[in-house]
Structure 1
Amino acid sequence: MRTVITFGTFDVLHIGHINILRRAKAHGDRLIVGVSSDALNFSKKQRYPVYSEADRAEIISSLQFVDEVFIEESLELKGEYIKKFGADILIMGNDWEGRFDIFKELCEVEYLPRTEGISTTELIAEIKAREDNVAA
């Protein structure tokens, strides 16, 4: 059995998230997803996610191609998560290209192309702009 692991915030679920998770699962038999904790997300992006870590984990776990979900508490623990779940391959979006090559001693590392024209940050900005226009 080949185990795939990936990580992300997965806030405001969109087709880009679905695409990368579906493609990640195609690289193995089992897909494990680390969902960034609220605190980790704040430390990376200086903002909390729209949805709580519990809600995001529940949403991701409901996807048919996701086998297991856990809360990622720290970027520094990625290697420990890879070992804990016995991952054979780490899949990340190509916006992280090269940043996780340090884990090649633990498992394969592959970066998949992101879905063109969509990002959570842009979606949140667009929603906010629409909201501001309605309020004006």
Structure 2
Amino acid sequence: MRRVVAQGTFDLLHPGHLHYLSEARSMGDELHVIVSRSENVTHKEKPVVGDRQRRDMIAALDPVDEARLGDTEDFFVPIRDIDPDVIVLGHDQHHDEDTLAAMLADEGIDCEVARASAREPRYDDEILSTGRIIDRVCERRC
């Protein structure tokens, strides 16, 4: 069985998230998703939606076999626990594949690192970004 890991913040779900997870699932037999805890999100604005709710929403998606929250201290704790064959990064995630592969090797974790493709909007007003969803809400409701 080929085990795949995807990870992300997954704040305000949109079609881009589903594309990423569907593509990650197609790379193996079982998809495990690690949802970042709000306190660990430092590369962008903190999530609007709470940790457990984001995890629950991801767990409810068809491509996902298991969703869990990330560890607050050590990024590698859930990775070691899952023991994946491949980690799939989202097309726009800030991680560098080579750096992540080297970090995994340093930790003694033997798995591939892949990157999912981007999903293009399918119609004019389709939003594929949490930040853009928030901007639209603010434009229309604030």
1:83 to 80, 87, 93: 80
Q: Distance in 2 between matches of 1:97 and 1:83?
A: 21
CA distance in 2, matches of 1:97, 1:53: 20
Offset of 1:64 from its aligned partner? 1.7
Residue by residue, what CA displacement relative to the aligned partner does 1:40-95 show, whole Å, maximum 9, x if unpaired? 12x332x4312110100001001121111111135x73344322211000101222
With over 3 angstroms needed to count, the CA separation of the structure-2 counterparts of 1:9 and 1:96, relative to structure 1, is: closer
Give the aligned length.
Answer: 129
TM-score normalised to structure 2 length: 0.80
Q: Which whole-Å CA distance do the structure 1 matches of 2:58 and 2:67 have between them?
A: 7
1:33 equivalent in structure 2: 33
Partner amino acid, structure 1, of 2:64: V
Which moves more between the two structures, 9-18 or 98-107? 98-107
The answer on whether the counterparts of 1:53 and 1:71 sit within 8 Å (CA) in structure 2 is yes
Residue number in structure 2 paired with 1:109: 113
Query: Which residue of structure 2 aligns with residue 92 of structure 1?
Result: 89
How far the C-alpha of 1:6 sits from its partner, in A, is 1.0
RMSD: 1.9
Letter in 1 for 2:136: E
Counterparts of 1:1-136 in structure 2, within 5 Å, are 1-41=1-41, 43-45=42-44, 47-74=45-72, 77-96=74-93, 99-104=96-101, 105=105, 106-117=110-121, 118-132=128-142
Residue pair 1:79, 1:103 contacting (<8 A) in 2 also: no
The alpha-carbon deviation at position 35 of structure 1 amounts to 0.4
Structure 1 runs of 4+ aligned residues shifted over 6 Å read none
CA contact 1:92–1:111 (8 Å) conserved in 2: yes
Q: Which runs of 5+ in 1 are unaligned?
A: none
Relative to total residues, which structure has the larger helix share, 1 or 2? 1
